Amino acid sequence: MSAALNEPAGLSAETVAELHSIAARYPEPRSGLLPMLHLVQSVSGRITPEGIEACAEILDISAAEVSGVATFYTMYKRKPVGDYLVGVCTNTLCAVMGGDLIFERLKDHLDVGNDETTEDGKVTLEHIECNAACDYAPVVMVNWEFMDNMTPSSSVQLVDDLREGKEVTSTRGPRICTWREAERVLAGFPDGRVDEGPGAGHASLVGLELARGNSWTAPTADEARRDAKTRDSGTAESKAGAAAQADTSRAETETKQEEGNKSD
């Protein structure tokens, strides 16, 4: 790993120092590549060639390896992103619950297409295949924070509030910050708001409530191992019994064939 804190074009000495500090968190420095790329986005608004080169130099890997990671994950952007990245889930459940209608309404209202940014630079709109929040479908995300049970009307109000600079609070999380501020948090630099807002809602906790009400508990590690051994043993016995039955059936068939041949 390079020891010198060089200052590549487009990145300040402070940013390069922070990239080094991220790499130093891990026994294997290259494990820090994902948060390093988030840091690049927090200062550049996207993954830049300069950011790729800086990460490659610090981690002593090729720029092609860094670029391969940056182009694989959809959270890394190659085009500038607005202050608020608004993602509309259009996967099956959200779509049938209204996600497709929300996305079409926002495209018309903002006059942008997928992965495009409004002229004022405030909102970038994209469709997302799954927000992993089906219990609150249809779901919209703003800078990775959940906005649950949305409608076309509430989604329009949401983006209007964001563009006007009004304070917006996520359904299960903190107040919405800018995309670059959120990227810095993902890089591992906390903003002090981790406990702001609820972490989960009722729909997500129904299973837990049912388990507690019925005194259901998960097995201990030892119990799980014993259960697994019992299942494996039973499976082995079933396979052995099936094999023996097959052998017997085969033998009976062969005997009948031999008897038939003798009678002929």
Using a 10 angstrom Cβ sphere, with 0-12 exposed, 13-18 middle and 19 or more buried, the burial of residue 63 is middle
**234-252: average pLDDT:** 68
Cα dihedral: 204, 146, 100, 42 (round 10): -140
Please name which of 168, 87, 89, 90 lies closest in space to residue 124, comparing C-alpha atoms: 87
Q: Which CATH class is domain 84-179+190-206?
A: alpha beta
Residue that has been written with the tokens 């609070």 in this structure: 169
| Cα distance between residue 258 and residue 264, in whole Å | 10
The first and second tokens of residue 135, run together, are 């219990």
Residues 171 and 198: their CA atoms lie apart, in Å, by 8
For residue 202, what pLDDT band results from cuts at 50, 70 and 90?
Answer: confident
Closest of 71, 81, 48 to residue 181, by C-alpha? 81
CA 102 to chain centre: 21
Q: What span, in angstroms and rounded, lies between the C-alpha atoms of 234 and 249?
A: 22
When pLDDT is cut at 50, 70 and 90, the band that residue 204 belongs to is: confident
> Which region among 64-73, 142-151, 215-224, 248-257 has the lowest average model confidence (pLDDT)?
248-257
pLDDT band at 233 (very low <50, low <70, confident <90, very high): confident
Tell me: the pLDDT tens digits for 124-134?
Answer: 999 998 888 99
Instruction: Print burial letters for 244-264: b (CB count within 10 Å at least 16), e (below 16).
Output: eeeeeeeeeeeeeeeeeeeee
Q: Please, what CATH class does the domain formed by 13-72 belong to?
A: mainly alpha
pTM of the entire predicted model:
0.76
